[in-house]
Protein backbone atom coordinates (compact mmCIF):
# COMPACT_ATOMS: atom_id res chain seq x y z
CA UNK A 1 0.00 0.00 0.00
CA UNK A 2 1.27 3.47 -0.85
CA UNK A 3 2.67 5.42 2.10
CA UNK A 4 1.46 9.02 1.96
CA UNK A 5 2.97 10.16 5.26
CA UNK A 6 5.75 8.68 7.34
CA UNK A 7 3.67 8.83 10.51
CA UNK A 8 6.46 7.76 12.83
CA UNK A 9 8.62 10.57 11.50
CA UNK A 10 5.70 13.00 11.86
CA UNK A 11 5.37 12.05 15.55
CA UNK A 12 9.12 12.36 16.12
CA UNK A 13 9.21 15.75 14.40
CA UNK A 14 6.25 17.06 16.40
CA UNK A 15 7.89 15.92 19.61
CA UNK A 16 11.25 17.44 18.73
CA UNK A 17 9.92 20.81 17.54
CA UNK A 18 7.15 21.27 20.08
CA UNK A 19 7.77 23.96 22.69
CA UNK A 20 8.10 23.08 26.32
CA UNK A 21 5.25 24.10 28.59
CA UNK A 22 5.25 26.76 31.30
CA UNK A 23 7.35 26.27 34.40
CA UNK A 24 5.33 24.39 36.99
CA UNK A 25 6.22 22.33 40.00
CA UNK A 26 5.13 18.72 40.27
CA UNK A 27 2.49 19.75 42.80
CA UNK A 28 1.16 22.48 40.49
CA UNK A 29 1.01 20.07 37.56
CA UNK A 30 -0.83 17.46 39.62
CA UNK A 31 -3.25 20.11 40.88
CA UNK A 32 -3.99 21.31 37.32
CA UNK A 33 -4.65 17.76 36.09
CA UNK A 34 -6.93 17.01 39.03
CA UNK A 35 -8.77 20.31 38.59
CA UNK A 36 -9.39 19.73 34.90
CA UNK A 37 -10.76 16.24 35.49
CA UNK A 38 -13.07 17.47 38.25
CA UNK A 39 -14.17 20.56 36.33
CA UNK A 40 -14.92 18.46 33.26
CA UNK A 41 -17.44 16.49 35.33
CA UNK A 42 -18.86 19.72 36.74
CA UNK A 43 -19.13 21.23 33.26
CA UNK A 44 -20.92 18.13 31.97
CA UNK A 45 -23.71 18.68 34.48
CA UNK A 46 -24.02 22.37 33.60
CA UNK A 47 -24.07 21.67 29.85
CA UNK A 48 -26.70 18.94 30.18
CA UNK A 49 -28.95 21.11 32.36
CA UNK A 50 -28.63 24.14 30.10
CA UNK A 51 -29.01 22.43 26.72
CA UNK A 52 -31.27 19.52 27.58
CA UNK A 53 -28.87 17.27 25.65
CA UNK A 54 -27.53 14.12 27.32
CA UNK A 55 -25.13 11.50 26.08
CA UNK A 56 -26.83 8.58 24.35
CA UNK A 57 -23.65 6.52 24.11
CA UNK A 58 -20.90 5.71 26.56
CA UNK A 59 -17.66 7.61 26.15
CA UNK A 60 -14.21 7.43 27.74
CA UNK A 61 -13.27 9.86 30.52
CA UNK A 62 -11.44 13.07 29.64
CA UNK A 63 -7.73 12.72 28.89
CA UNK A 64 -5.59 15.52 30.29
CA UNK A 65 -2.50 15.57 28.09
CA UNK A 66 0.69 17.47 27.44
CA UNK A 67 1.68 18.89 24.06
CA UNK A 68 3.53 15.80 22.89
CA UNK A 69 0.62 13.53 23.78
CA UNK A 70 -1.83 15.83 22.00
CA UNK A 71 0.25 15.69 18.81
CA UNK A 72 0.66 11.90 19.06
CA UNK A 73 -3.09 11.40 19.52
CA UNK A 74 -3.89 13.53 16.49
CA UNK A 75 -1.30 11.74 14.40
CA UNK A 76 -2.89 8.42 15.36
CA UNK A 77 -6.32 9.75 14.43
CA UNK A 78 -5.21 11.18 11.10
CA UNK A 79 -3.45 7.91 10.33
CA UNK A 80 -6.70 6.00 10.88
CA UNK A 81 -8.51 8.20 8.38
CA UNK A 82 -5.90 9.09 5.77
CA UNK A 83 -4.25 5.69 5.30
CA UNK A 84 -7.35 3.86 3.97
CA UNK A 85 -8.29 6.88 1.85
CA UNK A 86 -4.88 6.94 0.21
CA UNK A 87 -5.05 3.19 -0.30
CA UNK A 88 -8.39 3.49 -2.07
CA UNK A 89 -7.32 6.47 -4.16
CA UNK A 90 -4.10 4.82 -5.26
CA UNK A 91 -5.70 1.45 -5.90
CA UNK A 92 -2.94 -0.03 -3.72
CA UNK A 93 -0.48 0.79 -6.50
CA UNK A 94 2.90 1.55 -5.02
CA UNK A 95 5.09 4.26 -6.53
CA UNK A 96 8.78 3.59 -6.99
CA UNK A 97 10.52 2.83 -3.68
CA UNK A 98 12.66 5.97 -3.81
CA UNK A 99 9.67 8.19 -4.66
CA UNK A 100 7.59 6.68 -1.88
CA UNK A 101 10.35 6.85 0.72
CA UNK A 102 11.33 10.44 -0.04
CA UNK A 103 7.78 11.71 -0.52
CA UNK A 104 6.40 10.15 2.65
CA UNK A 105 9.34 11.36 4.75
CA UNK A 106 9.07 14.91 3.43
CA UNK A 107 5.34 14.95 4.14
CA UNK A 108 5.99 13.39 7.56
CA UNK A 109 8.37 16.20 8.52
CA UNK A 110 5.94 18.81 7.21
CA UNK A 111 2.96 17.31 9.06
CA UNK A 112 5.02 17.06 12.24
CA UNK A 113 6.03 20.72 11.92
CA UNK A 114 2.40 21.81 11.68
CA UNK A 115 1.33 19.66 14.64
CA UNK A 116 4.24 20.94 16.72
CA UNK A 117 2.99 24.49 16.17
CA UNK A 118 -0.63 23.63 16.89
CA UNK A 119 0.29 21.61 19.99
CA UNK A 120 1.34 24.85 21.68
CA UNK A 121 -1.92 26.62 20.81
CA UNK A 122 -4.79 24.18 21.37
CA UNK A 123 -6.51 24.32 24.76
CA UNK A 124 -8.83 21.37 24.20
CA UNK A 125 -10.33 19.20 21.50
CA UNK A 126 -12.93 16.56 20.95
CA UNK A 127 -10.95 14.18 18.71
CA UNK A 128 -13.25 12.02 16.58
CA UNK A 129 -10.95 10.30 14.10
CA UNK A 130 -9.20 7.66 16.16
CA UNK A 131 -12.16 5.97 17.88
CA UNK A 132 -15.94 5.92 18.18
CA UNK A 133 -17.51 8.05 19.66
CA UNK A 134 -14.39 10.17 20.15
CA UNK A 135 -12.14 11.37 22.94
CA UNK A 136 -12.12 14.63 24.91
CA UNK A 137 -8.60 16.03 25.26
CA UNK A 138 -7.52 18.93 27.46
CA UNK A 139 -3.99 20.25 26.98
CA UNK A 140 -2.94 21.15 30.52
CA UNK A 141 0.25 23.15 29.80
CA UNK A 142 -1.53 25.36 27.28
CA UNK A 143 -4.43 26.03 29.63
CA UNK A 144 -2.06 26.95 32.47
CA UNK A 145 0.03 29.12 30.17
CA UNK A 146 -2.95 31.09 28.85
CA UNK A 147 -4.57 31.56 32.24
CA UNK A 148 -1.29 33.00 33.50
CA UNK A 149 -0.93 35.35 30.53
CA UNK A 150 -4.51 36.54 30.99
CA UNK A 151 -4.00 36.78 34.77
CA UNK A 152 -7.26 34.85 35.09
CA UNK A 153 -8.52 33.03 38.14
CA UNK A 154 -7.36 29.43 37.49
CA UNK A 155 -10.55 27.73 38.61
CA UNK A 156 -12.73 30.11 36.58
CA UNK A 157 -10.64 29.87 33.42
CA UNK A 158 -10.37 26.10 33.58
CA UNK A 159 -14.11 25.69 34.01
CA UNK A 160 -14.69 28.15 31.15
CA UNK A 161 -12.53 26.02 28.84
CA UNK A 162 -14.22 22.83 30.04
CA UNK A 163 -17.68 24.23 29.26
CA UNK A 164 -16.68 24.77 25.64
CA UNK A 165 -15.02 21.40 25.14
CA UNK A 166 -17.65 19.41 27.01
CA UNK A 167 -20.29 21.00 24.78
CA UNK A 168 -18.46 19.54 21.79
CA UNK A 169 -18.38 16.12 23.44
CA UNK A 170 -22.09 16.42 24.11
CA UNK A 171 -22.78 17.30 20.48
CA UNK A 172 -21.19 14.04 19.35
CA UNK A 173 -22.42 11.74 22.13
CA UNK A 174 -25.96 13.10 22.45
CA UNK A 175 -26.29 12.96 18.66
CA UNK A 176 -25.01 9.46 17.81
CA UNK A 177 -25.12 10.00 14.03
CA UNK A 178 -22.92 13.13 14.18
CA UNK A 179 -19.53 11.41 13.98
CA UNK A 180 -20.53 9.19 11.05
CA UNK A 181 -21.99 12.19 9.26
CA UNK A 182 -18.81 14.22 9.74
CA UNK A 183 -16.55 11.39 8.60
CA UNK A 184 -18.90 10.75 5.68
CA UNK A 185 -18.48 14.35 4.53
CA UNK A 186 -14.70 13.97 4.71
CA UNK A 187 -15.09 10.87 2.53
CA UNK A 188 -17.37 12.81 0.16
CA UNK A 189 -14.72 15.49 -0.18
CA UNK A 190 -12.23 12.87 -1.31
CA UNK A 191 -14.75 11.24 -3.66
CA UNK A 192 -15.43 14.62 -5.27
CA UNK A 193 -11.85 14.94 -6.46
CA UNK A 194 -11.22 14.80 -10.17
CA UNK A 195 -8.57 12.11 -10.30
CA UNK A 196 -6.81 10.41 -7.41
CA UNK A 197 -3.28 11.34 -8.44
CA UNK A 198 -4.21 15.00 -8.60
CA UNK A 199 -5.85 14.85 -5.19
CA UNK A 200 -2.86 13.17 -3.55
CA UNK A 201 -0.58 15.80 -5.05
CA UNK A 202 -2.85 18.59 -3.83
CA UNK A 203 -2.95 17.04 -0.36
CA UNK A 204 0.83 16.96 -0.30
CA UNK A 205 0.89 20.58 -1.46
CA UNK A 206 -1.59 21.52 1.25
CA UNK A 207 0.58 19.98 3.98
CA UNK A 208 3.62 21.68 2.46
CA UNK A 209 1.82 25.03 2.40
CA UNK A 210 0.96 24.74 6.08
CA UNK A 211 4.52 23.80 6.96
CA UNK A 212 5.94 26.70 4.94
CA UNK A 213 3.63 29.18 6.68
CA UNK A 214 4.73 27.98 10.11
CA UNK A 215 8.33 28.67 9.11
CA UNK A 216 7.71 31.73 6.90
CA UNK A 217 5.13 34.29 8.08
CA UNK A 218 5.45 36.07 4.73
CA UNK A 219 4.00 33.10 2.84
CA UNK A 220 0.98 34.16 0.78
CA UNK A 221 -0.27 30.79 -0.40
CA UNK A 222 -3.43 29.18 0.94
CA UNK A 223 -4.21 25.62 1.90
CA UNK A 224 -7.61 26.18 0.31
CA UNK A 225 -5.83 25.87 -3.03
CA UNK A 226 -6.44 22.11 -2.72
CA UNK A 227 -10.17 22.77 -3.20
CA UNK A 228 -10.54 22.87 -6.95
CA UNK A 229 -13.71 21.10 -8.06
CA UNK A 230 -17.29 22.41 -7.72
CA UNK A 231 -18.29 19.17 -6.02
CA UNK A 232 -15.56 19.63 -3.42
CA UNK A 233 -16.70 23.18 -2.80
CA UNK A 234 -20.25 21.92 -2.21
CA UNK A 235 -18.95 19.46 0.41
CA UNK A 236 -16.83 22.20 1.96
CA UNK A 237 -19.94 24.39 2.24
CA UNK A 238 -21.70 21.63 4.20
CA UNK A 239 -18.68 21.10 6.44
CA UNK A 240 -18.37 24.85 7.00
CA UNK A 241 -22.05 25.06 7.96
CA UNK A 242 -21.63 22.13 10.37
CA UNK A 243 -18.49 23.49 12.04
CA UNK A 244 -20.00 26.96 12.29
CA UNK A 245 -23.05 25.48 14.02
CA UNK A 246 -21.02 23.35 16.44
CA UNK A 247 -18.64 26.16 17.38
CA UNK A 248 -21.44 28.72 17.62
CA UNK A 249 -23.43 26.36 19.83
CA UNK A 250 -20.42 25.85 22.12
CA UNK A 251 -19.90 29.61 22.37
CA UNK A 252 -23.60 30.12 23.10
CA UNK A 253 -23.50 27.53 25.89
CA UNK A 254 -20.36 29.08 27.39
CA UNK A 255 -22.00 32.50 27.42
CA UNK A 256 -25.25 31.09 28.81
CA UNK A 257 -23.78 28.98 31.60
CA UNK A 258 -20.74 31.11 32.40
CA UNK A 259 -22.37 33.98 34.31
CA UNK A 260 -24.15 31.48 36.57
CA UNK A 261 -21.05 29.54 37.66
CA UNK A 262 -17.96 31.61 36.78
CA UNK A 263 -17.72 34.89 38.73
CA UNK A 264 -15.01 36.40 36.50
CA UNK A 265 -16.42 35.21 33.16
CA UNK A 266 -16.84 38.69 31.66
CA UNK A 267 -13.23 39.57 32.32
CA UNK A 268 -12.05 36.20 30.97
CA UNK A 269 -14.11 36.52 27.77
CA UNK A 270 -12.88 40.08 27.11
CA UNK A 271 -9.23 39.23 27.75
CA UNK A 272 -9.40 36.02 25.71
CA UNK A 273 -11.02 37.77 22.75
CA UNK A 274 -8.33 40.47 22.78
CA UNK A 275 -5.64 37.79 22.79
CA UNK A 276 -7.32 35.81 20.00
CA UNK A 277 -7.81 38.87 17.79
CA UNK A 278 -4.27 40.16 18.26
CA UNK A 279 -1.51 37.59 17.90
CA UNK A 280 2.00 37.94 16.56
CA UNK A 281 2.81 38.04 12.81
CA UNK A 282 3.32 34.27 12.64
CA UNK A 283 -0.04 33.61 14.28
CA UNK A 284 -1.73 36.04 11.90
CA UNK A 285 -0.14 34.28 8.93
CA UNK A 286 -1.36 30.90 10.17
CA UNK A 287 -4.84 32.28 10.78
CA UNK A 288 -4.98 33.71 7.28
CA UNK A 289 -3.63 30.54 5.71
CA UNK A 290 -6.13 28.29 7.49
CA UNK A 291 -8.97 30.74 7.00
CA UNK A 292 -9.23 31.13 10.78
CA UNK A 293 -9.99 34.85 10.46
CA UNK A 294 -12.98 33.85 8.36
CA UNK A 295 -13.79 31.04 10.79
CA UNK A 296 -13.76 33.46 13.72
CA UNK A 297 -16.39 35.54 11.98
CA UNK A 298 -18.29 32.34 11.22
CA UNK A 299 -18.15 31.30 14.88
CA UNK A 300 -19.62 34.68 15.84
CA UNK A 301 -22.24 34.13 13.14
CA UNK A 302 -22.88 30.65 14.52
CA UNK A 303 -23.42 32.00 18.02
CA UNK A 304 -25.77 34.65 16.63
CA UNK A 305 -27.67 31.98 14.69
CA UNK A 306 -28.11 29.76 17.76
CA UNK A 307 -29.21 32.75 19.83
CA UNK A 308 -31.71 33.73 17.14
CA UNK A 309 -33.22 30.26 16.92
CA UNK A 310 -33.47 29.85 20.70
CA UNK A 311 -35.15 33.25 20.93
CA UNK A 312 -37.74 32.12 18.41
CA UNK A 313 -38.50 28.52 19.39
CA UNK A 314 -36.78 27.91 22.72
CA UNK A 315 -34.05 25.42 23.56
CA UNK A 316 -36.18 22.35 22.83
CA UNK A 317 -37.08 23.83 19.46
CA UNK A 318 -33.44 24.53 18.72
CA UNK A 319 -32.49 20.95 19.58
CA UNK A 320 -34.52 19.76 16.61
CA UNK A 321 -31.45 20.85 14.67
CA UNK A 322 -29.86 17.59 15.81
CA UNK A 323 -32.74 15.43 14.58
CA UNK A 324 -30.98 14.31 11.41
CA UNK A 325 -28.53 15.62 8.80
CA UNK A 326 -31.55 17.09 6.99
CA UNK A 327 -32.33 19.40 9.91
CA UNK A 328 -28.82 20.85 10.10
CA UNK A 329 -28.69 24.46 8.89
CA UNK A 330 -27.65 25.16 5.34
CA UNK A 331 -24.85 27.63 4.82
CA UNK A 332 -27.23 30.38 3.68
CA UNK A 333 -29.50 29.82 6.70
CA UNK A 334 -26.79 30.65 9.22
CA UNK A 335 -27.41 34.32 8.61
CA UNK A 336 -31.19 33.87 8.57
CA UNK A 337 -32.57 31.98 11.60
CA UNK A 338 -36.13 32.59 10.39
CA UNK A 339 -35.39 30.59 7.24
CA UNK A 340 -34.21 27.58 9.26
CA UNK A 341 -37.17 27.84 11.66
CA UNK A 342 -39.63 28.02 8.76
CA UNK A 343 -38.06 25.02 7.03
CA UNK A 344 -37.85 22.78 10.11
CA UNK A 345 -40.74 23.99 12.27
CA UNK A 346 -43.05 25.29 9.56
CA UNK A 347 -44.20 28.90 9.08
CA UNK A 348 -46.01 29.00 12.43
CA UNK A 349 -42.78 28.12 14.20
CA UNK A 350 -41.28 31.49 13.32
CA UNK A 351 -43.45 33.17 15.97
CA UNK A 352 -41.12 34.31 18.82
CA UNK A 353 -41.52 32.28 21.99
CA UNK A 354 -40.08 32.53 25.46
CA UNK A 355 -36.94 30.48 25.59
**Which segments of the chain have a pLDDT < 70?**
1-3, 88-102, 193-207, 209-228, 277-298, 349-355
Phi, psi of 52 (to 5 degrees): 80, 5
Residue 1 pLDDT:
44
Residue 354 pLDDT:
44
Residue 147 pLDDT:
96
Residue 104 pLDDT:
84
Residue 99 pLDDT:
46
CA 34 vs. chain centroid, Å, equals 24
Give tens-digit pLDDT for 40-87: 999 999 999 999 999 999 999 999 999 999 999 999 998 888 777 777
Consecutive H or E run containing 28: helix 26-51
Phi, psi of 247 (to 5 degrees): -70, -40
End-to-end CA distance of the chain: 54
160: nearest Cα among 39, 62, 22, 53: 39
With b meaning 16 or more CB within 10 Å and e meaning fewer, what string describes 273-302? eeeeeeeeeebebbbbbbebeebeebbebb
Give tens-digit pLDDT for 123-170: 999 999 988 999 999 999 999 999 999 999 999 999 999 999 999 999
DSSP state of 192: T
- Per DSSP bridges, beta strands 124-127 and 63-65 are unpaired
Residue 112 pLDDT:
87
Task: Identify whether the C-beta of residue 75 lies closer than 8 Å to the C-beta of residue 14.
Answer: yes
In this structure, what is the dihedral angle of CA atoms 277, 333, 344, 185, given to the nearest 10 degrees? -80
Residues 6+ apart with CB under 8 A from 23: none
Phi, psi of 248 (to 5 degrees): -65, -40
DSSP string, 129-143: SSSSS-EEEEEHHHH
Phi, psi of 194 (to 5 degrees): -95, 85
Amino acid sequence: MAQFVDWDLAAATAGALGKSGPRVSYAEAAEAVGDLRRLTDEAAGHVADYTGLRSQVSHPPVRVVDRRDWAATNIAGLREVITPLVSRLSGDKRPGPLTEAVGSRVTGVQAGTVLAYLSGRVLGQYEVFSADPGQLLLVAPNIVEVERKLEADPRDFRLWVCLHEVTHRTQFTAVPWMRAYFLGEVQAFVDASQGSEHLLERLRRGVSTLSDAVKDPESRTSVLDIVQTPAQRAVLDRLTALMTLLEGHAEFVMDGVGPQVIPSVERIRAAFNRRREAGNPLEKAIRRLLGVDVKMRQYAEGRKFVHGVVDRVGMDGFNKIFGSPLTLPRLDELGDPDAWVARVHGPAGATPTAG
